[in-house]
Amino acid sequence: MESIRQKFTVEFSYPVHFTERLFEIQNTLLADLISHDNSPAPRKILFVIDSGVAEAHPELAKQIEKYIKHYHLIFKWCDAPLIIPGGEDAKNEPDLVEYLLEAVDWMGLCRHSYLVAIGGGAVLDLAGFAASIAHRGIRHIRIPTTVLAQNDSGVGVKNGINAFGKKNFIGSFTPPYAVINDSHFLTTLEKRDWRAGIAEAIKVALIKDADLFRFIRSQAAQLNNRDMKTMQQLIYRCAALHLQHIASRDPFESGSSRPLDFGHWAAHKLEHLTNYTIRHGEAVAIGMALDTTYSYITGMLAKEEWEQVLDLLLDLGFSLYTTDLEQPAHDEDNSPTLMKGLEEFREHLGGRLTIMLLDRIGHGTEVNQMNTELLAEAVRMLKYYNAKSVTIAETVNAHS
Ligand SMILES: NC(=O)c1ccc[n+]([C@@H]2O[C@H](COP(=O)([O-])OP(=O)(O)OC[C@H]3O[C@@H](n4cnc5c(N)ncnc54)[C@H](O)[C@@H]3O)[C@@H](O)[C@H]2O)c1
Ligand SMILES: [Zn+2]
């Protein structure tokens, strides 16, 4: 018997740029980026815009058209941008993948063309997935417009949509051609979307960077007041940590561990249980509160640090508890449906269940099982902690 072992290495590299008002004619970032790609000019470029962004920035589509036509030696104008429903609907409607593929087809885009997506994490996940399967991969540029997408989801290598009631069941690992974070988009975010992305920054701080955690604590008031400079710093540091992590360990997640997904096993389940009425970042805040509490009651984390984490989440306006945490499964063991999130999390990666917990702020530790009774206890503690804070806030408001 003979065999041949095939082996090759592929290097991936992409820039993450930070700018403001990307589509003003005098901002040459996008034109420069594309003019250096060694492809025949002008290149076809298709824009896909999140409907929430299009509504909040009614001038955007026209501005893009003006920009592309101005730099006509670099870009070939194909058609007006496509508007895609913003939010999780984008990932729950499989017809949208087909819609994007049809557009790639009738506009005649090729692997040297560009599909540029402008939007929140959900629209970017959908558009990135469509770009990764059209012609087995056309160039994809992400322009994230939420805090969460700028500091986490938009800068990584994962794309995908939901299926069979499970988050990100269909998807691909395909690095983007480039990412451009334009802070001007953040000015129109709803309060909850401004806040939601801060959860991912707290996440990465808790497992990797105690200094970043201290920074967020010290800047909580500025963040609550929507101070853009503080948010820009936070996004930059958080994006850098995510990028560093992706490059240093298992970028395509072939192992069983997903260290950056602290708090996410419960978060993904909660998003589904709440019918996606809760934002990803809001669910992550609850998931982190849960796993931090579990870390505390299993003796891994000191009480003082446990309280610091919960208090910071509350200070920033996150909830620590929702009744969905206790939704019964109505099956033979009648345990809360939430617990099924553990097995679903394991199944998504394959191999052994691996959950990140905290042994101190800034440092995570992985475990391979969780005790469901202690988890239920952690849920009860969160309910109490959350209610206590709501009562205090109501008392303060009544006296002010
Ligand atoms: N690919 C990854 O690695 C990765 C990582 C983390 C999260 N995610 C995914 O990201 C998604 C969450 O993304 P998100 O938090 O950005 O929320 P989102 O995409 O659901 O958007 C939230 C809302 O904000 C609106 N919006 C977006 N930008 C706006 C702007 N500038 N002004 C006004 N409104 C705006 C949208 O229309 C939507 O209604 C989830 O599906 C999550 O699974 C992916
Ligand atoms: Zn996340």
Task: Give tens-digit pLDDT for 94-117.
Answer: 999 999 999 999 999 999 999 999
331 pLDDT exceeds 90?
no
Task: Read off the pLDDT of residues 337-365 as tens digits, 9 standing for 90 and up.
Answer: 888 888 888 887 778 889 999 999 999 99
Q: Which atom of ligand 1 is nearest to the CA of 158?
A: 1
Distance, CA of 239 to CA of 283 (rounded, Å): 20
Query: For a pocket test of ligand 1, which of 50, 51, 282 has the largest count of ligand atoms closer than 8 A to its C-beta?
Result: 50
The whole-number average pLDDT for the span 143-158 is 97
Query: For a pocket test of ligand 1, which of 123, 140, 190, 193 has the largest count of ligand atoms closer than 8 A to its C-beta?
Result: 193
Residue 280, ligand 1, Cβ within 6 A: yes
Find the helix packing angle between 210-218 and 228-248, rounded to 10°.
Answer: 170
Task: Read off the pLDDT of residues 14-38 as tens digits, 9 standing for 90 and up.
Answer: 999 999 999 999 999 999 999 999 8
pLDDT confidence of residue 348 = 79
pTM of the predicted structure, to 2 decimals: 0.94
Task: Read off the pLDDT of residues 250-309 as tens digits, 9 standing for 90 and up.
Answer: 888 776 667 788 999 999 999 999 999 999 999 999 999 999 999 999 999 999 999 999
Q: Which atom of ligand 1 is nearest to the CA of 185?
A: 31
Closest-CA residue, ligand 1 atom 9, reads: 121
Q: Please provide the average confidence, as pLDDT, over all residues in the chain.
A: 93
User: Considering every ligand atom, which ligand is closest to the CA of 280?
Assistant: 1
